[in-house]
Amino acid sequence: MEAEIEPRVQHRAILFAILAAALYAISSPVSKLLLKEVPPTFMASFLYLGAGIGMALVGLVRTVNGIESGEKRLTTKEIPYTVGMIVLDIAAPIFLMIGLTTATPENVSLLNNFEIVATSLIALFIFKERITKRLWSAIILITLASMILSMENTNSFSFSIGSIFVLLACTCWGLENNFTRKLSIKDPLQVVVIKGFGSGTGSLLIALAIHERVSNWLYIFAALLLGFLAYGMSIFFYIYAQRYLGAAKTSAYYAIAPFIGAGLSLLIFRDVPTLTFLVALVIMIVGTYLASIDGKE
């Protein structure tokens, strides 16, 4: 009986990881549009507050209907990982939004795959998860593609500031993924609500402290809605997937998000992809494929 159930659980976890990726994919192109009216730190704040508010309402509906989740609640033992998750989720989206203000959304979307590298290496060095030869090959290829995408001038080998901020965001999320892994056996709804309100409030306080201003309520509502879908629902599914797949493997399946995001960005902004973008895209696809099939015979 155990052998029959396990494949179904595995397939469901993979589906959750893919759903998480599809929802997150809309983040970069839509955020780029909203950044015209919403400053970067406020944007980061609204994304996570939207996730927190939206998932809190989902929890409220569940409670009103008398639906018992049966999930384990967070305890004091998880406080260090919870605090680390919140702090990293304050920094990461701010870095990403700053990067989006200068970098093209398709480049930013593909650079998001560097999160695989960060997650895997942190899982190896800090949490002692095993990395296979195939995943090492993926890490090398994704890093190479990220370097190509980050080059502002190929002659002088200078890197764009926007891309550097995106890579910083991916590194923060890589560490945050491993912290969230420690919380994956707990109620995903509770984790997302805490993540949303904690990180969103932190970013909001920073935005107010540096005197950012936003007055367009339509854009604020759109940012909150985007946060609910691209961060709230995406994280909710991601945590479920991590429970069964682990941090490194969930991140690998999640890696289709940048390709969906890049495609949407090219369509929305009607950008013509450069030769370096296409070269990086091919390398990134190969690296992502290797990461996604890692562990499969």
Spatial distance between the Cα atoms of 196 and 53, rounded to a whole number of angstroms: 8
Cα 39 off chain centre by: 20
Q: Find the radius of gyration of the CA atoms of the chain.
A: 19
Spatial distance between the Cα atoms of 51 and 57, rounded to a whole number of angstroms: 10
Beta-carbon contacts of 81 under 8 Å, excluding residues fewer than 6 positions away, are: 179, 180, 182, 183
Quick one: tokens of 59? 């929890």
pLDDT per residue as tens, the chain (297 positions): 333 437 788 888 889 999 999 999 999 999 999 999 999 999 999 999 999 999 999 899 988 888 777 788 899 999 999 999 999 999 999 999 999 999 999 999 999 999 989 999 999 998 888 888 999 999 999 999 999 999 876 665 568 999 999 999 999 999 998 888 888 788 888 988 999 999 999 999 999 999 999 999 999 999 999 999 999 999 888 888 888 887 667 877 877 889 999 999 999 999 899 999 999 999 999 998 888 777 554
pTM above 0.85, yes or no: yes
